[in-house]
Structure 1
Amino acid sequence: MSSPAAQAPLLFFDSGLGGLTVLGPTRALLPTAPIVYAADYAGLPYGKKSDEELAARVPALLGRLVERYQPRLAVIACNTASTIALAHVRAALDLPIVGTVPAIKPAAEMTKSGFIGVLGTEATVRQPYVDDLSARFATGRTVLRHGSPGLVTAAEAKLRGEAVDPTVIARAIAGLRDQPGGAAMDVIVLACTHFPLLEAELQAEAGPGVRLIDGAAGIARRIAHLTEGQDWPAEAAPGIAVFTRSPDHPPPPLAALTPWGIGRVETI
């Protein structure tokens, strides 16, 4: 297979802006990589959709994006979409696809108490994939789960410059801590790419005895590995953010995206 052209972008895909938390560490490793960041605002929030709907929607939309932007690699920077639709996307598209899964393995290695929290969307925490990760990598540990759709909304609002409702943060942490064994929990897996945008607020509520972990750095290393030896532009250019049209979720102002290297906004 021939090497992609230097201008072929990396495509990041999420329901909203959470995938920016994966884009950030990727740009640190690949600073001149062309970027297309796609947010499916017309489908937001994914955590409220059925598995069947997402298994059909995500491959179809990614197919349109791949045809339009001709990326060298696509990143499903969304835990919900990855746990439900990753296999469907890989079957449909002929390019490398990187998924995002809850960081249960490193959390199991990190915990001292043996009690781990997994904080995600309602769709993610109910997936058999999470059962499998827990069985494979967290044997002998107790894995507590809680779905918090309110954190997705809070993260999106924070990036628009709005205040974060502290009750949303408190309910999310209480959803784990109030379960049997929750008081002993010393690691929380942020199993939604939106949630690291609220890391400061979640850490303050969880307290100093609890460590937060997500998989963004590992995903960035995987992207760098899969593109090793490929050509890149000599200098970085501003990336593109593309949003599916939604009357309920207009795209954020460009100023909210420029810290992530985005210089243009498009809608489809």
Structure 2
Amino acid sequence: MNPADITAQSNTPNILIFDSGIGGLTIAAEITKILPQHPIIYIADNRLYPYGTKPDAVLRTRARSLFPILEAHYHPSIIVIACNSASTLILDEVRALTDTPVIGVVPAIKPAAEFSKTGSIGLLATKVTINRPYTQNLINQFAGDHNVVSVGSDILVFQAEQKMHGNPIDTDAIRQELLPFINQPNIDTIVLGCTHFPLLRDEISHILGQSVELIDSINAIARRTAVTLSKLTPDLPSTLPTPKHRFIFTAPNPKIDEITPTLHRRGFSDILIGNH
């Protein structure tokens, strides 16, 4: 079968999860827990990876060309943009481009501000997410009376990818990126504002200590996906055959053999090149 010719092959509504890399696997895992009967088509746009270092104009141009193709080719019932760097820029534009419901992930500023006892929280995201007006608006709206320390790190994205590829990670590099938080002892809550970062949750927690709560949007996005799908398919049987999940790169990936074991363990039976 030609990977580029693969479309949805089940009558069960499928979920298209989109990211530039493998950070969206954190959301895919949570969605699978809540919606185990739904097949997942994961699109990793490695043609433009990583999104966190790309100019806004480049990402907008890519969205305009790519999402209509993905919608027409895979016929998803719902699209989840599992990337903060993308969602904080192109979410509204993608919704306007497609007829499919689109859910985006943005930094969990509100729950972090509500959880914090000290009134001092951290935001750990990519540099572009940190600098987006959308992110600053979230801070102003939900944490305006808090001390917010923002750290933009593209190095942690690389470290998370290394971990998922089965390669050693550099804990000293991770610690260096977290120094602004370490130097602010009043911080009791940190937002993981990139879907890659929960992949390093253990390492981050070990460095910062158990007194610092790490908060992300993963469960909230999975629950919202479930609610949206329930409205679209209210009569879907509660028990269905185990679905087939597919992981599709948009361009050739020379490290595909390294990542394949991780993807198989996470339930993706087919790992393909889509050439999108």
Give the TM-score of the pair, scaled to structure 2. 0.90
Q: Could you say which residue in structure 2 is the equivalent of 1:124? A: 129
Question: In the alignment, which residue of structure 2 is the partner of 1:54?
Answer: 59
Q: What's the secondary structure of 1:71's corresponding residue?
A: coil
Q: Residues 252 and 41 (structure 1 numbering): CA distance in 2 closer, same or farther, change over 3 Å?
A: farther
Choose which of 75, 79, 85 in structure 2 pairs with 1:80.
Answer: 85
**Stretches (4+) displaced over 6 A:** none
1:188 to 187, 190, 194: 190
User: Comparing 133-142 with 246-255, which one deviates more in the overlay?
Assistant: 246-255
Structure 2 CA distance for aligned equivalents of residues 17 and 40 of structure 1? 9
Q: Which of 65, 71, 76 is 1:71 aligned to?
A: 76
Report the counterpart of residue 208 of structure 2 in structure 1. Answer: 206
Deviations 1:53-83 (A, max 9, x none): 1122124222221111110000000000000
CA deviation profile, 1:123-142 (whole Å, cap 9, x unmatched): 10001111111111113101
Which stretch of structure 1 is more off in the superposition, 249-258 or 53-62? 249-258
Q: Which amino acid aligns with 2:88?
A: T
Q: Which secondary structure state, in structure 1, belongs to the residue aligned with residue 58 of structure 2?
A: helix
The aligned residue for residue 46 of structure 2 is 41
The answer to whether 1:243 aligns with 2:249 is yes
Change (3 A) 1:206 1:126: same
CA apart distance, 1:251: 6.6
> Out of 220, 223, 230, which is 1:221 matched to?
223
Aligned to 1:139: 144
**Aligned-residue CA RMSD in angstroms?**
1.6
Worse overlay, 249-258 or 111-120? 249-258
Give the Cα separation in 1 of the matches to 2:176 and 2:63: 30
| 2:16 alignment partner, SS class | strand
Aligned to 1:254: 260
Q: How far 1:252 sits from its partner (Å)?
A: 4.4
Output one character per residue of 1:88-127: Cα deviation in whole Å (capped at 9) or x when no partner: 1011111100000000000001101111110011110001
Distance 1:98 1:139 in 2: 25
CA contact 2:16–2:41 (8 Å) conserved in 1: yes
Whole-angstrom CA distance in 2 between matches of 1:160 and 1:190: 21
Look up the match of 1:197: 199
SS in 2 for 1:240: strand
Distance 1:185 1:101, change over 3 A: same
Following the alignment from structure 1 to structure 2, what is the Cα–Cα distance between the partners of residues 254 and 72? 26
Return the alpha-carbon distance in structure 2 between the equivalents of residues 251 and 62 of structure 1.
27
Identity %: 38
- The answer for the alignment partner of 2:4 in structure 1 is none
Q: Which runs of 5+ in 1 are unaligned?
A: none
Counterpart residue number, 1:265 = 271
